[in-house]
């Protein structure tokens, strides 16, 4: 009997081992809104330990987000979540981001910052534009110089993050940042969630990605809900006849 129980425990242990990613991380997900709760759900589903960081960790809203996430997720202050985490995902509103980074900069040292933020100026709807000249990603890297900022998912809606199948085909997530190993690590995390990835280049390219997000938001900002568009990056082989000599035309510097 005891032998049988031990075998059952061993098999259960094997199963848990097999279904847990080789490199499970503790991820602080800062922000419990639409995108934060979607990202926390996906991190938890893919085997990572999620600690939400919230202004109101004792609120009913935070409790509901934790309950929906399951898989051992919890919520704390943002400072505590960041201190405990291996990876910090920024999924909060842009106006709160500078203060969050600057007041936790020591605990961000050496960590990957998984940056999902966009920085639109809401006050000037419907003509939305970025609230910053460079990009949110670049500023975050400046404010946390010893962290490895990787921009990811800022062009993907929360509904697609929760269920990539709703896109009707593969979705490629562009990744930009200054640290290649950090981008490769983020690529693994994102691929585990059912997306393809493409590493594009340095964090300065966040400017372009954040511009893409503004384009995505534009119809919503203009109240044109009946004709809002969805778009996805979907990588594939270049069409026949397109090669490097034809891409590098006269307009390419």
Ligand X SMILES: NC(=O)c1ccc[n+]([C@@H]2O[C@H](COP(=O)([O-])OP(=O)(O)OC[C@H]3O[C@@H](n4cnc5c(N)ncnc54)[C@H](OP(=O)(O)O)[C@@H]3O)[C@@H](O)[C@H]2O)c1
Residues that bind ligand X (CB under 6 A): 31-36, 54-56, 62, 91-96, 116-118, 154, 157-158
- Walk across the sheet containing 196-201 and list its strands: 74-77, 49-54, 26-30, 87-90, 112-115, 148-151, 172-177, 196-201
Q: Which is nearer to ligand X, 192 or 214 (CB)?
A: 214
Q: How many residues does the chain have?
A: 253
The CA distance from 44 to 147, in Å, is: 23
Q: Which is nearer to ligand X, 10 or 124 (CB)?
A: 124
Question: 3-state DSSP call for residue 150?
Answer: strand
Q: Which is nearer to ligand X, 85 or 248 (CB)?
A: 85
The CA distance from 112 to 105, in Å, is: 12
User: How near is the Cβ of 201 to ligand X at its closest, in Å?
Assistant: 20
127 contacts: CB under 8 Å, gap ≥ 6: none
User: How near is the Cβ of 211 to ligand X at its closest, in Å?
Assistant: 13
User: How near is the Cβ of 13 to ligand X at its closest, in Å?
Assistant: 36
Q: Which is nearer to ligand X, 46 or 216 (CB)?
A: 216
Whether 91 and 117 have beta carbons less than 8 Å apart is answered as: yes
Closest CA to 112 of 129, 140, 128, 88: 88
User: How near is the Cβ of 7 to ligand X at its closest, in Å?
Assistant: 45
Tokens of 82: 């960041």
Whether 161 and 39 have beta carbons less than 8 Å apart is answered as: yes
The structure tokens 């059952």 sit at: 8
Q: Which is nearer to ligand X, 49 or 78 (CB)?
A: 78
User: How near is the Cβ of 63 to ligand X at its closest, in Å?
Assistant: 11
User: How near is the Cβ of 190 to ligand X at its closest, in Å?
Assistant: 13
Q: Which is nearer to ligand X, 20 or 142 (CB)?
A: 142
> Which residue lies nearest ligand X, judged by its C-beta?
33
């Amino acid at each position: 009997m005891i032998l049988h129980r031990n075998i059952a425990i061993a098999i259960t242990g094997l199963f848990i081992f097999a279904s847990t990613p080789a490199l499970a991380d503790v991820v602080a997900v800062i922000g419990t809104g639409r995108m934060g709760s979607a990202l926390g759900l996906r991190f938890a589903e893919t085997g990572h330990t999620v600690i939400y960081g919230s202004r109101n960790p004792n609120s009913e809203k935070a409790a509901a987000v934790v309950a929906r996430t399951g898989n051992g997720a919890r919520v704390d202050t943002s400072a505590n979540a960041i201190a405990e985490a291996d990876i910090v995902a920024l999924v909060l509103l842009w106006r709160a981001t500078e203060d969050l980074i600057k007041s936790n900069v020591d605990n961000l040292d050496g960590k990957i910052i998984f940056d999902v933020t966009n920085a639109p100026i809401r006050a000037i709807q419907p003509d939305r534009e970025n609230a910053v000249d460079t990009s949110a990603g670049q500023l975050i890297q400046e404010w946390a110089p010893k962290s490895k900022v990787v921009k990811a998912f800022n062009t993907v809606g929360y509904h697609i993050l929760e269920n990539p199948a709703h896109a009707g085909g593969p979705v490629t997530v562009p990744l930009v940042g200054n640290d290649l190993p950090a981008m490769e690590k983020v690529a693994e995390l994102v691929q585990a969630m059912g997306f393809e990835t493409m590493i594009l280049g340095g964090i300065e390219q966040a400017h372009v990605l954040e511009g893409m997000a503004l384009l995505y938001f534009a119809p919503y900002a203009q109240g044109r809900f009946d004709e809002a568009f969805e778009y996805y990056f979907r990588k594939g082989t270049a069409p026949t006849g397109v090669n490097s000599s034809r891409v590098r035309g006269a307009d390419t510097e």
